[in-house]
A = this chain, B = another copy of it.
């Protein structure tokens, strides 16, 4: 049908295993909740971080592991997910550089409630939970920033709950695509491209549906000219059209 659909226009984000040694300072400075600190302060904080590299698909930690560290994404994308009894995973969020995940409450014997997995090859900076707690105690502004981020995430999580409770799969997928485009979108010749390897499976896990249904809906969106899509990528062709699906759906 569509001829040159086969060429996925997505650039494969590949980082050399580790992120360059002292690019770290720059990255930490760009982290939203360190942004108010001085160069010296960041340099000091930097010493508490260690860097780790992961290949796409590798797991950074599993749900249930003892929660020891807080991570910051330096480069690449990280999937935050929860498992269920059978293979039915749930994809909660896709994290981009500057965002954090892992344990931020110092308390002792806690365990990670979710699993973090590298979606692309990725470089993360990790800090011991206790050390991070120390930073929070020393730098009030940082804590307030972290709090703001948490509040925002809670809002979004509640919005997911609302979507799942009240909207049809079609609407949820439309909503999710727009949200992803907002976060990961890059202008390209096929529209607003979601810059991450996004399979039908991922989309299904984000919207609480099955792979097959996600596939059907995305195909329909493509036929309707709302998106361009291929293997592991989706691009928004008609933003307003997708918004219309959300607003005007019967339910």
Contacts and interface: CB of A to CB of B under 8 A. Distances in A.
Interface of A: 82, 84-86, 88, 90, 92, 104-105, 107, 113-114, 133, 136-137, 140, 143-144, 146-148, 150-151, 153-155, 157-162, 164-167, 205, 208, 251
Contacts of A205: 165
Given A82-B158, A113-B159, A164-B208, 14 more contacts: A82-B161, A84-B162, A88-B165, A92-B161, A104-B147, A105-B151, A114-B158, A143-B143, A143-B144, A150-B151, A154-B154, A161-B208, A164-B164, A165-B205
Given A144-B136, A151-B105, A166 B113 contact: no
A205 B165 CA distance: 8
Given A140-B143, A147-B105, A165-B90, A158 B158 contact: no
Contact of A147 (B143, B161, B208): B143
A161 B105 contact: no
